[in-house]
Amino acid sequence: MKIQHQAGLGAYKASGFIGDYCRLVRGTVIPYQYEVLCDRAGTEKSHVIANFENAARALRGEDTADGFYGMVFQDSDAAKWLEAAACSLANERDPELEARADELIALIASAQDEDGYLNTRFTVSDREKRWTNLLEGHELYCAGHLMEAAAAYFEATGKRTLLDVCLRNAEHIYKRFVTDGAEGYPGHPEIELALMRLYRAGGDERCLELARHFIDVRGVDPEYFRRERESRDWTVWGSDGRDSCYQQSDRPVRELKDATGHAVRAVYLYTAMADLAAELEDKELEAACRRLWESITRRRLYVTGGIGSTVHGEAFSVDFDLPSDTAYAETCASLGLMFFASRMLELDPDSRYADVMEQAFYNTVLSGMSLDGKSFFYVNPLESVPGISGKAPTHRHTLTVRPGWYACACCPPNAARTVMSFGRYAYGESSDTAYCHLYAAGEVKLSNGMEFTCETAYPFGSEIRYRVAKGGRFAVRLPHWSKKTALTLDGRAVSPEIRSGYAYLDVPGGSELTLTLDCGPRYVYASPEVPELTGKVCICAGPLVFCFEDRDNPFGALRLILDTGSKPEPCTAEGLEGIPALEVRGYALRGGDTLYSDEPPAYEPVTAKAVPYYARANRGETGMSVWRGYVRN
């Protein structure tokens, strides 16, 4: 059974854990990030707003002041901020935020050329270089993010200004690549999935056709990017276009078997492929998506839901290469994995997709943002060592303290827009069914007429209660990690139809459906195929992965050996009030006065403390480790 669509932006009013994060993003992150875009936050310079102002000046033939500044894809930061604002407005009216967004939209519209082209980098400077560097120029990537923002803002407010801007931009791109037959496809996939959203919001069939075009032509000529590079005398980063596997263009997408290359680009592409497969009922494209999903989740996925294990190209490596201390695991890559999982759920409501979507969100995605919403991680290693992490040449990317912003700032606004649109991932619907993929407290009103309220302390509570006002058929996910799961309707046990990890049952209005999970702490062991993790264990509870920090373990988190014969018990951690922690028995290694010794180290019994991975690095610089050695007594 195919899910017809995700829940709409305004279908979910968050409370509980997700509601707290939405309030943080609404009240702190969105205003803070706008100040960053205006260069008023005292952080790494962004200049995004000024770039649009300068582009508008250039189109009027005026002086462009200080010109263009930033990454070639700098425009996308404004687009993601607008989408976060749109998602916020869909859930809670805010005239001040809406006015600020309208002002930015008007500025963006003023930076659009007469022919529909829109990109500040190539409008402010190097106009003659438009569309000559699809590999590195990221014009299609920036256009895609703006299209996503336009669809979201139209859905949230009904205002068409940005939607019409993007439809004109899509028309310009369609003319170039479809009507006029220009060669090429995006170096950084994104516009493909965005065109699908723009198609549904604006109703222009050319958006669907253009998305299909970019997917169909990709990899048909694996040498395209090499030939493009040889035809021009300039580059952005010096890429020669020869590594077609890294660029996901070594073969037509329907023939892809393994997740390769730049991890964010890969999952953005796979998201679009899955979306198009569902829209067109393309079984060959769907089969490719399933193969790629298996490649990621069976052989190339961190326990935290992180993907992209190597800093070299921010990329997938090879099967079972999952180092902890040099992991890249970009925040945006886990966000993209959520997008891919959500679209796979539309093809096939199977709990394994939602399980991974949840795994990525509660661990790597949330880890990418500090608890106060004002600093961010781009990279999410599973082990940090002060003095090595962030300093050694092999570990310079694995920072131990979140910066306030980045020169390449794709992750912070990406996390903000995803948190604010969490309802889209938590709930789906068909004409007669409500799909509960993730457990999110709050009010839900679906377009099929079903209405209910979810009450839960999840992920720190094990009971999820649905109070149903207007009933219908429910499909509730049963996560694979819950060993004991119970479902009751008005206090009585039920025997629902179980299909692909979902419980299906009819729930009339006025009823109460309760799902009880086993969210207790458990030890998790890696496959022996992962050489990095031989003889190691980690602790999880529900969807949460836990880690050990030096701050809570003065003997040193990396000297810890766990006793898996003991049961982790709840406790508290200083400085993380309100966030549950765990205590577990183990041993701390003593010694280390000499680099090597003939004498074995001493082992001292200790009680170790672990905190949720997403809450790491919020109390100053400290060592951290997810995986530890173990014994069983």
**In sequence order, what DSSP letters do the residues of 444-463 get, joined into one string?**
EE-TTS-EEEEEE-TTS-SE
The string of pLDDT tens digits covering residues 470-501 is 999 999 999 999 999 999 999 999 999 999 99
Q: What is the mean pLDDT of residues 445-454?
A: 97
Q: Looking at residue 4, what is its pLDDT?
A: 55
Length of the chain, please?
633
| pLDDT of 246 above 50 | yes
Q: Looking at residue 591, what is its pLDDT?
A: 82
Average pLDDT, the chain: 96
Active-site residues: which are they?
314, 410
Q: Looking at residue 1, what is its pLDDT?
A: 42
- The proportion of the chain whose per-residue pLDDT surpasses 70, expressed as a percent, equals 99
Q: What is the mean pLDDT of residues 389-413?
A: 89
If you search the block for the tokens 């200083």, which residue do you land on? 574
Q: Looking at residue 407, what is its pLDDT?
A: 76
Class (C level, CATH) for 430-516: mainly beta
Q: Which residues, including other chains, have CB under 8 Å from residue 203's CB and lie 6 or more apart? A: none
Q: What are phi and psi of 512, to 5 degrees?
A: -130, 120
| pLDDT of 78 above 80 | yes
Per-residue 3-state assignment (H helix, E strand, C coil) for 97-133: HHHHHHHHHHHHHHCCCCCCCCCHHHHHCCHHHCCCC
Cα–Cα distance, 102 to 150 (Å, whole number): 11
Cα–Cα distance, 432 to 439 (Å, whole number): 20
The string of pLDDT tens digits covering residues 317-343 is 999 999 999 999 999 999 999 999 999
Q: Looking at residue 408, what is its pLDDT?
A: 77
Beta bridge partners of 514: 465, 488
CA distances from 279 to 1, 152, 195, 282, 626 (A): 14, 19, 12, 8, 40
The string of pLDDT tens digits covering residues 529-560 is 999 999 999 999 999 999 999 999 999 999 99
Sheet holding 463-470, edge to edge: 12-14, 442-445, 451-456, 463-470, 512-516, 486-489, 492-493
Cα–Cα distance, 485 to 482 (Å, whole number): 6
The string of pLDDT tens digits covering residues 107-139 is 999 999 999 999 999 999 999 999 999 999 999
User: Which tokens is 310 given?
Assistant: 């190597």
Domains of the chain, by residue range, sit at 430-516, 521-631
Q: Looking at residue 410, what is its pLDDT?
A: 82
| pLDDT of 366 above 90 | yes
pLDDT tier at 406, thresholds 50, 70, 90: confident
Q: Looking at residue 131, what is its pLDDT?
A: 98
Q: What is the mean pLDDT of residues 200-228?
A: 97
| pLDDT of 14 above 60 | yes
| Eight-state DSSP code of residue 246 | T
- For 613, other C-beta atoms within 10 Å of its C-beta total 26
pLDDT tier at 148, thresholds 50, 70, 90: very high
| Eight-state DSSP code of residue 25 | I
